[in-house]
Amino acid sequence: MDPEQQLSHILQDSFSVPQSPVWMDSSSRTQCDALERAAGGALRLSEITGSKAYERFTGNQISKVFHTRPEEFYQTERISLVSSFAASLFLGKYAAIDFSDGSGMNLLDLSSKAWSDVCLDACAPGLRPLLADPVDSSSVLGSVCLYFVKRFGFSETCSVVAFTGDNPASLAGMRLQPGDVAVSLGTSDTVFLWLQYPQPALEGHVFINPVQPEHYMALLCFKNGSLVRERIRDQTGGSWDKFSSALSSSPLGNNGNIGLYFDVMEILRQHAACGALMLTITSFAGVLQVASFPPHTEVRALLEGQFLSRRLHSERLGYHIYVFNAPVFTIDSSNSACLGSAYRALHGLLKQSGVSFFDAVKNGAEPKLPWRRRIQQPIR
């Protein structure tokens, strides 16, 4: 690559597919169905790759390109993820896909950490050489290429560690450990889990762990997140202060009142209905459905209902939850993926000397412990 030219100019004629599909694309349902049939069903595909077939996953998008634009497929010499493509720019040559980001393609056999022949054959012919072998997420791929040395002043000895996706990088940035769970509250809520013995299911995703490849990480995304909380906030006085006050005025357990709020169709339950279900537990024998809650009751009904839902789905993936007296932490970083990428780069260099990820990042900022209070004992 000529260091006198911009990358956009150098690469402008390099792509067989000028407009690559992104995660928002959901047009490959036909290919998803075909992949699940080839694998022996949705659950069997999840057992192999960590997820049932999803339209946005790379394998199904590759299959769609092959079936709808075969001339572009046959002009392709390498298929990259965004992460491995970015690493390729720094290397000046094709970079390998890492285990963790590669787990989100519906193509990688999680048990063998190699591409699944069944999945490759179901998506398109001759895929294995186009993908090349995946590598450990902490692998050092080589040194930065001369383009970055001459144009941007990088050191010639600067190493390039395998790039990964934003979610695996976030797990590294939060420094989750075995048994930890992290919840990212946003428009969609995301739950990160560190698993040793996953139970692949029809909901959620299981990935090879980016910092300890003999373990796994699970990812659960809930579409009904902050927008639902904001709606209830607006009904409770219009401010987070009033929302918090209403929460504080109700007891843990909410006197048996719980709400399930699905303003939009949930990702994890594609065929579930939308709406709200409000229940009052009258005894262990049954529940009473109610039409509405008072504001101070509804706030806690919403939050406890949301987190019970996150717990239920987490346990289905093999996570064992015991919350009594468990500490709750927050982290100061607003971009855990960027921080995790820096942590992973450091670990990649030190791992060659036998240093573990946690030893490599032991001097990082500790999370805060803002809330430690005894969780209510089960209702009797």
- Per residue in 17-75, pLDDT (tens digit) is 988 888 778 899 999 999 999 999 999 999 999 999 999 999 999 999 999 999 999 99
Residue 324 is predicted with a pLDDT of 63
**Which domains, ranges and CATH numbers included, belong to the chain?**
7-88+101-135 (3.30.420.40), 226-316 (3.30.420.40)
pLDDT at 236: 87
Q: What is the pLDDT of residue 374?
A: 41
User: How many Å apart are CA 45 and CA 118, to the nearest integer?
Assistant: 10
Please report the pLDDT score of residue 213 as a whole number.
94
Residue 333 has a pLDDT of: 67
Is 60 exceeded by the pLDDT of residue 91? yes
Mapping DSSP onto H, E and C, the string for the chain reads: CCCCCCHHHHCCCCCCCCCCCCCCCCCCHHHHHHHHHHHCCHHHHHHHHCCCCCCCCHHHHHHHHHHHCHHHHHCCCCCCCHHHHHHHHHHCCCCCCEHHHHHHHCCEECCCCEECHHHHHHHCCCHHHHHCCCECCCCEEEECCHHHHHHHCCCCCCEEECCCCHHHHHHHHCCCCCCCEEEECCCCEEEEEEECCCCCCCCCEEEECCCCCCCEEEEEEECCCHHHHHHHHHHCCCCHHHHHHHHHCCCCCHHHEEEEEECCCCCCCCCCCCEEEEEEEEECCEEEEECCCCHHHHHHHHHHHHHHHHHHHHHHCCCCCCCCCCCEEECCCCCHHHHHHHHHHHHHHHHHHCCCHHHHCCCCCCCEEEECCCCCCCCC
Q: What is the pTM for the complete model shown?
A: 0.84
Q: What is the mean pLDDT of residues 293-316?
A: 90
Task: Reply yes or no on whether the pLDDT at 270 is more than 80.
Answer: no
| Cα end-to-end distance, the chain, whole Å | 70
Report the pLDDT value the prediction gives residue 364, as an integer from 0 to 100.
84
Indicate if the pLDDT at residue 380 is higher than 80. Answer: no
Average pLDDT of the chain to the nearest whole number: 89
CB 293 within 8 A of CB 276: no
116 and 48 in contact (C-beta within 8 Å)? yes
Give residue 317's pLDDT.
80
Neighbouring CB atoms inside 10 A of 239's CB total: 11
Q: Tell me which of 310 and 320 has the higher pLDDT.
A: 310
| Average pLDDT, integer, range 293-310 | 91
- Which pLDDT value is given to residue 328? 76
Q: What does residue 348 show for φ and ψ, rounded to 5 degrees? A: -60, -40
- pLDDT(379) > 80: no
**Does residue 51 contact residue 206 with C-beta atoms inside 8 Å?**
yes
